[in-house]
C-alpha cells in the first residue's frame, strides 16, 4: 500500500433502480464489486439507504464497515443538509474508521460521480464541467473549481420532467388518448398493452389507479418510448424531443450560473435513458445543445463510458489525496478501474 493509507477505499453509487459498490486498495487494485437494488433515501430514508449499501457490500463479499475512505454518491441527496444526514448515519454504522484513525467520508449527489468519471476533473481545484442525468428522474450539477451549482430536483413541483417515470406516464397518456379519440395513433398503445398484459391502455391505467398493477411500473415503458422514437413514431419522437430540451435546459442553466458560455464547459450525460445512446435521443440532445449555443463542439458532449461507481471510487481517491493520505500520483484512471469491475 501507499504510505499514509492503511485501509481500503470504498466507492458507492446509489440510484433509484440500483446500487453499485467497489472496494479498492491504495494501489488502485479493485478487490470487491457488486450491485444491488435501488437505495435512494428519498424512498427508503437514510437508514434504509445504508441498509441497502451494506447488504450490497455483504453480497459482494466486502466488509460492511471500517473503511479508511468512503465516497457515497447518492441519488436524492440534493441539498447539504441531506448530505449531512446520510453522513451521520454512515458514521453511526462505522462505515469508515473514526476521525482519530484518519477516516475520511464524503457524501455527495450521484451526479458528481458521473461528472468525475468522464469530465476534465482530477479532484483538483481546477475541476470543471456539467453533468446531466436522465434515469429514474432528471437532475444536473455544474462544477468550476470550488464553485458548484445544483437544482432542487424534486420532480414536477420543482419544474422537473423527463425521467423514466415521466416518459412512462406520458406513454400511458398517449395510449389512452388514442383509444378514446383525443389523440393520434401511436405505437405506444401496443407497448402499453404488452407491458401490462391488457386488451387496452384504459385497462392498464385502471389497474394502476386501483393498485392492481405495481406502483412505479410505468417507468419501464421509457425504453419503449425510446424504441418507438427510433422507429419514427411521431408521438414518441415528440416525447424524446421534449426530454432532449430538458437536458439542454439543465446544461445551459448550469453554465450560465457558473458564469460561462455553454461551449466552454464539457457536458457529461449519464443515467439509464441517456446512457442507452439510442439514435433519436442522442441526435435530439445534440441538436438541443447546439440550439442553446451553436459553438458547442461534439467533443464537449460526453457520455459516461464507465459505470458511475468508477466515479464514486475516484472520488474516494480524491478525498484520500486531499487529506494527505495519498499522493496525487496514486489516483488510478477511470479506464483502469473499469476493467477490474
CA 73/CA 263 separation, integer angstroms: 27
Task: Evaluate if residue 233 carries a pLDDT over 70.
Answer: yes
pLDDT bucket at 34, cuts 50 / 70 / 90: very high
Measuring CA to CA, which residue among 198, 200, 203, 171 is closest to residue 187?
171
Tell me the mean pLDDT in the region 327-331: 90
Tell me the mean pLDDT in the region 115-138: 76
Measuring CA to CA, which residue among 124, 164, 116, 159 is closest to residue 141?
116
User: What integer pLDDT is reported at residue 125 of this predicted model?
Assistant: 42
pLDDT bucket at 146, cuts 50 / 70 / 90: confident
Task: Evaluate if residue 26 carries a pLDDT over 90.
Answer: yes
pLDDT bucket at 118, cuts 50 / 70 / 90: confident
Share of the chain above pLDDT 90, in %: 80
pLDDT bucket at 215, cuts 50 / 70 / 90: confident
- In DSSP notation, 224-264 reads HHHHHHHTT-HHHHHHHHHHHHHHHHHHHHHHHHHTS-GGG
Which residues are paired to 129 by β-bridges? 143
Task: Evaluate if residue 3 carries a pLDDT over 70.
Answer: no
Radius of gyration of the chain (CA): 21
pLDDT digits (tens, 9 = 90+) for 56-110: 999 999 999 999 999 999 998 988 899 999 999 999 999 999 877 879 999 999 9
Task: Evaluate if residue 235 carries a pLDDT over 70.
Answer: yes
Task: Evaluate if residue 41 carries a pLDDT over 90.
Answer: yes
More confident residue, 117 or 140: 140
Share of the chain above pLDDT 70, in %: 96
Burial 209-219 (b: 16+ CB within 10 A, else e): eeeebeeeebb
Backbone dihedral region for residue 314 (phi beyond 0: left; psi -120 to 50: alpha; all else: beta): alpha
**Contact 99/69 with Cβ under 8 angstroms?**
no
φ, ψ (nearest 5 deg) of residue 143: -140, 130
User: What integer pLDDT is reported at residue 123 of this predicted model?
Assistant: 53
Between the alpha carbon of residue 14 and those of residues 17, 39, 103, 274, the distances in Å are 8, 6, 21, 17
User: What integer pLDDT is reported at residue 1 of this predicted model?
Assistant: 37
Name the grid cell of 32: 470487491
What's the whole-number average pLDDT of the chain?
93
CA 317/CA 252 separation, integer angstroms: 30
pLDDT digits (tens, 9 = 90+) for 291-310: 999 999 999 999 988 899 99
Task: Evaluate if residue 4 carries a pLDDT over 80.
Answer: no
Tell me the mean pLDDT in the region 187-205: 97
Measuring CA to CA, which residue among 304, 233, 309 is closest to residue 274?
304
The helix/strand/coil state of 173 is helix
- In DSSP notation, 103-154 reads -EEEEEEHHHHHHHHHSB--SSTT-EEEEEEESSSEEEEEEETTEEEE----
User: What integer pLDDT is reported at residue 102 of this predicted model?
Assistant: 79
Task: Evaluate if residue 280 carries a pLDDT over 90.
Answer: yes
CA dihedral 44, 49, 52, 54 (to 10 degrees): -150
Name the grid cell of 54: 451494506
CA 7/CA 98 separation, integer angstroms: 12
Lowest mean pLDDT among 2-6, 128-132, 279-283: 2-6
Amino acid at each position: 500500500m501507499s504510505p499514509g493509507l492503511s485501509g481500503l477505499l470504498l466507492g458507492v453509487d446509489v440510484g433509484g433502480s440500483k446500487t453499485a459498490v467497489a472496494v479498492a486498495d491504495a494501489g488502485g487494485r479493485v478487490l470487491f464489486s457488486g450491485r444491488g437494488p435501488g437505495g435512494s433515501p428519498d424512498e427508503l430514508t437514510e437508514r434504509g439507504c445504508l441498509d441497502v449499501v451494506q447488504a450490497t457490500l455483504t453480497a459482494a463479499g466486502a466488509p460492511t464497515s471500517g473503511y479508511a475512505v468512503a465516497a457515497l454518491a447518492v441519488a436524492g441527496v440534493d441539498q447539504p443538509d441531506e448530505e449531512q444526514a446520510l453522513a451521520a448515519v454512515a458514521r453511526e454504522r462505522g462505515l469508515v474508521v473514526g476521525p482519530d484513525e484518519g477516516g475520511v467520508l464524503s457524501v455527495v449527489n450521484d451526479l458528481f460521480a458521473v461528472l468525475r468519471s468522464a469530465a476534465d476533473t482530477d479532484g483538483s481545484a481546477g475541476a470543471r464541467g456539467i453533468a446531466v442525468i436522465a434515469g429514474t428522474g432528471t437532475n444536473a450539477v455544474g462544477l468550476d473549481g470550488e464553485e458548484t451549482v445544483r437544482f432542487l430536483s424534486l420532480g414536477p413541483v420543482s419544474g422537473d420532467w423527463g425521467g423514466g417515470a415521466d416518459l412512462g406516464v406520458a406513454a400511458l397518456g398517449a395510449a389512452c388518448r388514442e383509444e378514446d379519440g383525443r389523440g393520434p395513433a401511436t405505437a405506444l398503445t401496443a407497448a402499453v398493452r404488452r407491458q401490462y398484459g391488457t386488451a387496452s391502455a384504459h385497462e392498464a391505467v385502471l389497474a394502476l389507479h386501483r393498485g392492481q398493477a405495481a406502483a412505479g411500473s410505468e417507468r419501464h415503458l421509457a425504453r419503449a418510448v425510446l424504441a418507438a422514437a427510433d422507429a419514427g413514431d411521431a408521438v414518441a419522437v415528440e416525447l424524446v424531443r421534449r426530454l432532449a430540451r430538458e437536458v439542454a435546459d439543465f446544461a445551459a442553466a448550469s453554465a450560465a450560473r457558473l458564469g460561462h458560455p455553454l461551449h466552454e464547459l464539457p457536458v457529461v450525460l449519464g443515467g439509464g435513458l441517456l446512457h442507452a445512446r439510442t439514435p433519436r435521443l442522442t441526435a435530439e440532445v445534440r441538436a438541443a445543445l447546439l440550439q442553446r449555443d451553436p459553438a458547442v463542439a461534439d467533443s464537449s458532449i460526453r457520455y459516461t463510458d464507465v459505470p458511475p461507481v468508477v466515479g464514486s471510487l475516484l472520488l474516494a481517491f480524491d478525498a484520500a489525496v486531499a487529506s494527505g493520505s495519498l499522493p496525487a500520483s496514486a489516483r488510478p484512471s477511470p479506464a483502469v478501474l473499469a476493467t477490474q469491475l
